[in-house]
Amino acid sequence: MLDPTLANGVITPASEGINWVPIKPATNGAFYSAIAQILIRDNTFDAVAMACPTQKAAEAAGYGGYTNATYLVITDENHPNYRKLMRAADAGLEEPPADPAATTQPTYYVVIDAATGAPALHTDAAKGDLFFEGEVNGVKVRTGFSMLRDSVNERTIDEYAEITGIPASEIERMGKEFGSHGYKVSVQAAAASTASVVGFDTPAGRELLKAMMGSNQMTGGSFPSGQSPVTEGKGACYDLTTIAGLPNVSAKNAAMISRGGKAWEKTDEYKNRVAAGEKDPKPMLPWYTNAPQSDAQAIMSIVNQYPYQCKILMTWMCNVIQATPGAMRDEAIEKLKDTSVLPLHIVCDIVVGEMAQYADYIVPDVTQYESFGLPTVSMIGGFGTTIRWEAKAPETAKTEDGRPICWETFLIDVAKACELPGWGENAIPDVNGQMHPFNDAYDYYLKGVANLAYAVEPVEDITPEEAHMQGLDELGDNWKKAVTAEEWPKVLKVLSRGGRYWPMDYKRGADGRFKGLKAKETYVYNEKRALMTNPYSGKRLSPTLNYNPQMFADLSLMTDHYSAEEYPFLCSEHKPKFRSVTMLANSPIMRDICAHNYMEINTEDAAELGIKDGDIIRAITPRGDVTEGEAMVRDGQVKGAFSIEFGYEHLAYGAQDVEIDGKLVKGDPAIAAGTRIHMMLDPVVAEHGGMGIIADTDASSPGRCGGMFKIEKA
């Protein structure tokens, strides 16, 4: 287990066969590059799996996924398609006739067929040449794999060891181990470990290593998890996803407020400013060509009123301002409170946290015991879905027609008042095309339960005895009316079991692969990234895996702005045991078990700084942000970085005094106890007039781990 901090998990003195390997935050790209380098150097990667250019070829060769490692890349800088994967037309190859029935036509890439040594469409070759460099049709090309070999060899193992803090001998050991089990290996990495300004390197490296050993969708390898029959989509009984008359809004005709999914030069603002005569205009906040939606970037857009003003903000059970490192600061909070910046802010939650504190309206929600949900948990290996259902009557106030006030009730009534499609009468189609109403939460969720009950093979009806034993025979007409009389006893059967799961073997095919095998491509060469240009500098990032030091929004190195000698420390956050991201500080039990968190610092670092366990210390960014807390001096923390559990140091959430109708209500300072990372803002964004968090320049997610700090005794 590689982690900056020995946090939670089964690495105990008594457990065998698992070790903690400390790694510095924001250096995962270096680690993955090192392992890839070793696999290539020692020729222990699976060259057959890597060379299969299509899913069909991969499956024929006994694998579950393919890569674009053998696809040719145009490397001629003067070619109009420079940095793109070569297409059939670039190579002078003829494409098969288009399928007139298909809505989209496939793209035909070019490989050197390993069998003939000649250029071929990727769909025509069973295996491509991994290493080709040369000319095709007069165009200079090379394979993505040959570029990968270069990019992971940009540094030596010793240099990767220096960067990651992992001894070279340990990297070598891991590289050998990883390459010695065939496809029966995997890599897990997500969440906090990806959250840095170079966070994209983590999923990129993880996926590469899995593909290099041919482990995707293989039993004993990287076997897919988190599958379920369709419940909230087009299911066995009802279609909960199709909405007649849905407005056509997408990234194609609109801009996400979080500035993702769109290149800066494709925005209306860019075009308008160029048309107005501006040369090479720059945005106030960065745009992210390939990023998905981001709540953290959305909140920064809102406080900056850029790229457009957010006139109505609705949030449900989240506390974006606290969960976004660097965002919870006075200047951002003042903007959230200012109705000229954010005219209407509605929060629906079960507690009044920092987000709700600054909202105009708070709609009470119901707890997990009073609400419905059909979560498919990706970490659970089986096939199926858990059902959360109203185990007790909600305790919130009721509407005039008797429905509990909660998120669903609020959405339904507002949507109906606004005459939005998909709500009210004739909203939900069944498989026979008949329409059903959507007037309360039961109408929706119980139809999802019916979909689960009838999936694959319908469950048996619940027996009257069992329904009675569990009190399910007491459920009222408001429940029953959501499904048919025939479906009801099967819905109850699923409710009585809390969900429906199939045995693990259901997912295993007889051939040692995932039974639900779907096309699984791994990008060795990431064309989308190859073509992405930075909105401030025009610079580009490597399309194959490499190590990127931490950068600001224009891809300039952090260390070019600030002295690494003066600010040598990185930071990381990890999951708290006794808080959640933003909640549980209101629980006296949780506060009793853990009053506050700590600034966890390595024993040798602490000794050098003269810090003792229990001292109050400060971590200060080059921009003056101060994180202060009690030091926990430990060997279970990587050298060169401090770490904290998130979820502490509330500003509101009951910690503060509030005046309600002229009456002072005293806060409980214990709720505010502990510390959170006060991350610096991006100085490059500041130069362009914006207040922006440091962020992953690919995914736009916050730079949660990493940064630059000096540490001193308070």
- The tokens for 338 are 């200012």
Say whether residue 15 binds another protein (CB under 8 A). yes
Q: Which residues in the 542-581 window bind another protein by CB under 8 A?
A: 577-578
The nearer residue to another protein, 507 or 579, going by C-beta atoms, is 579
Nearest-approach distance from CB 6 to another protein, in angstroms: 5
The nearer residue to another protein, 169 or 339, going by C-beta atoms, is 169
CB 36 within 8 A of CB 28: no
Say whether residue 10 binds another protein (CB under 8 A). yes
CB 645 within 8 A of CB 673: no
Say whether residue 608 binds another protein (CB under 8 A). no
Distance from C-alpha of 603 to C-alpha of 639, rounded to nearest angstrom: 8
**Of 302-310, 446-454, 530-538, 633-641: span binding another protein (CB under 8 A):** 633-641
Nearest-approach distance from CB 368 to another protein, in angstroms: 15
Nearest-approach distance from CB 655 to another protein, in angstroms: 18
CB 700 within 8 A of CB 291: yes
Nearest-approach distance from CB 239 to another protein, in angstroms: 37
Say whether residue 425 binds another protein (CB under 8 A). no
CB 712 within 8 A of CB 610: no
CB 612 within 8 A of CB 542: no
Q: Give 80's contacts (C-beta < 8 A, 6+ positions apart).
A: none
Say whether residue 614 binds another protein (CB under 8 A). yes
Nearest-approach distance from CB 633 to another protein, in angstroms: 7
**Of 19-27, 193-201, 327-335, 370-378: span binding another protein (CB under 8 A):** 19-27
Say whether residue 13 binds another protein (CB under 8 A). yes
Measured in whole angstroms, the distance separating CA 276 from the mean position of its chain's CA atoms is 38
Reduce the DSSP state of residue 442 to 3 states and report it: helix
By CB under 8 A, name the one of 8, 116, 378, 434 that touches another protein.
8
By CB under 8 A, name the one of 9, 375, 538, 689 that touches another protein.
9
Nearest-approach distance from CB 199 to another protein, in angstroms: 26
**Could you tell me how many residues of this chain bind another protein (CB under 8 A)?**
31
The nearer residue to another protein, 234 or 577, going by C-beta atoms, is 577
User: How does DSSP classify residue 702?
Assistant: B
Say whether residue 589 binds another protein (CB under 8 A). yes
CB 628 within 8 A of CB 618: yes
Say whether residue 167 binds another protein (CB under 8 A). no
Sign of CA dihedral 556, 560, 561, 565: positive
Which amino acid appears at position 147 of this protein? M
Say whether residue 588 binds another protein (CB under 8 A). yes
- The tokens for 607 are 């000794």
**Of 312-320, 369-377, 513-521, 591-599: span binding another protein (CB under 8 A):** 591-599
Cis amide prior to 307 (ω within 30 degrees): yes
Environment class of 380 (CB within 10 Å of its CB; exposed 0-12, middle 13-18, buried 19+): middle
Nearest-approach distance from CB 575 to another protein, in angstroms: 11
Say whether residue 594 binds another protein (CB under 8 A). yes
Say whether residue 397 binds another protein (CB under 8 A). no
The nearer residue to another protein, 592 or 687, going by C-beta atoms, is 592
**Of 17-25, 113-121, 158-166, 223-231: span binding another protein (CB under 8 A):** 17-25
By CB under 8 A, name the one of 11, 48, 126, 531 that touches another protein.
11
Tally Cβ neighbours within 10 Å of residue 156.
12
Distance from C-alpha of 560 to C-alpha of 565, rounded to nearest angstrom: 12
Q: Give 232's contacts (C-beta < 8 A, 6+ positions apart).
A: 240, 241, 374, 448, 451
Nearest CA among 696, 694, 689 for reference residue 709: 694
The nearer residue to another protein, 20 or 502, going by C-beta atoms, is 20
CB 680 within 8 A of CB 558: no
Nearest-approach distance from CB 22 to another protein, in angstroms: 8
Distances (CA, A) of 70 to 20, 46, 111, 522: 36, 13, 6, 12
Say whether residue 381 binds another protein (CB under 8 A). no
Distance from C-alpha of 627 to C-alpha of 618, rounded to nearest angstrom: 6
By CB under 8 A, name the one of 312, 391, 393, 595 that touches another protein.
595
Backbone angles phi, psi at 112, to 5 degrees: -90, 115
By CB under 8 A, name the one of 2, 3, 4, 6 that touches another protein.
6
| Residue entry with tokens 């494709």 | 266
Say whether residue 392 binds another protein (CB under 8 A). no
**Of 29-37, 190-198, 305-313, 583-591: span binding another protein (CB under 8 A):** 583-591
Which amino acid appears at position 333 of this protein? I
Measured in whole angstroms, the distance separating CA 140 from the mean position of its chain's CA atoms is 37
The nearer residue to another protein, 588 or 624, going by C-beta atoms, is 588
Say whether residue 597 binds another protein (CB under 8 A). yes
Helix axes 488-497, 441-453, angle to 10 degrees: 90
Say whether residue 105 binds another protein (CB under 8 A). no
The nearer residue to another protein, 639 or 688, going by C-beta atoms, is 639
By CB under 8 A, name the one of 281, 424, 509, 636 that touches another protein.
636
**End-to-end CA, the chain:** 33
- The tokens for 268 are 């209306």
Q: Which residues in the 21-40 window bind another protein by CB under 8 A?
A: 22
The nearer residue to another protein, 20 or 82, going by C-beta atoms, is 20
Say whether residue 592 binds another protein (CB under 8 A). yes
Q: Which residues bind another protein (CB under 8 A)?
A: 6, 8-16, 19-20, 22, 577-578, 588-590, 592-595, 597, 603, 613-614, 632-636
